[in-house]
A and B are shown apart, each in its own frame.
Chain A
Amino acid sequence: DGGITQSPKYLFRKEGQNVTLSCEQNLNHDAMYWYRQDPGQGLRLIYYSQIVNDFQKGDIAEGYSVSREKKESFPLTVTSAQKNPTAFYLCASSRIRSGANVLTFGAGSRLTVL
């Protein structure tokens, strides 16, 4: 079955540590996205990538980094510079130039900073 796989589902981190969240898709989608969800805040865009080896900052990119070395993979690193990293992180993918640009989401990763 095609879809998006995010791992790990739950992650605990000590302050000052970098962590990397994995996102893999087998939908042959061109674009991939990372969103963050906080209670009462909806979904906020962190980074997105339309093609391999290229990505753009979203609305809340500070303290995060990404790479897009393969079409299927778009890992997100939460660095120690991110002031409030505890959140639910969602990865998504889509076909570009397809009308509504419907995003397919993964199941999410919950990061808790201790």
Chain B
Amino acid sequence: DQQVKQNSPSLSVQEGRISILNCDYTNSMFDYFLWYKKYPAEGPTFLISISSIKDKNEDGRFTVFLNKSAKHLSLHIVPSQPGDSAVYFCAAKITQGGSEKLVFGKGTKLTVNP
């Protein structure tokens, strides 16, 4: 049962345009959502997070939007740059039995074309 879903395996955009990566979730107990960026053969790096009580968080070119009623979040990158080409993972935090853990989606590969 996949609790965090990224339905688009890949996305291609032109440099300077907006990239929108989407993520859906099923568990209402998630209290934070995070986005990570990953290059091949490297560990993921943290980009931005949002609390479940917020609907928007912005950090430079990156903005995350959360729609709790739809159980949907999205990451906007404006303007997109070739260096943004990577796999982006959506993750959700849950606390169970006093332990915290992150559940990850399968990732979306973003390609930004010059």
Contacts and interface: CB of A to CB of B under 8 A. Distances in A.
Contacts of A58: 101
A96 B49 CA distance: 16
B97 to A, nearest CB: 8
A48 B42 contact: no
Interface residues of B, number: 25
Nearest to B9: A40
Interface residues of A, number: 31
Interface string B43-55: 1111001010000
Contacts of B34: 100, 102
A2 interface: no
Contacts of A40: 9, 106
Which of B41, B93, B101, B106 is most buried by chain A, counting CB atoms within 10 A of its CB? B101
Interface string A75-114: 0000000000000101010101101111111111010000
A50 interface: yes
A42 B41 contact: no
Contacts of B106: 40-42
A51 to B, nearest CB: 10
B89 A43 contact: yes
Interface of A: 4, 31, 33, 35, 40-45, 48, 50, 56, 58, 88, 90, 92, 94, 96-97, 99-108, 110
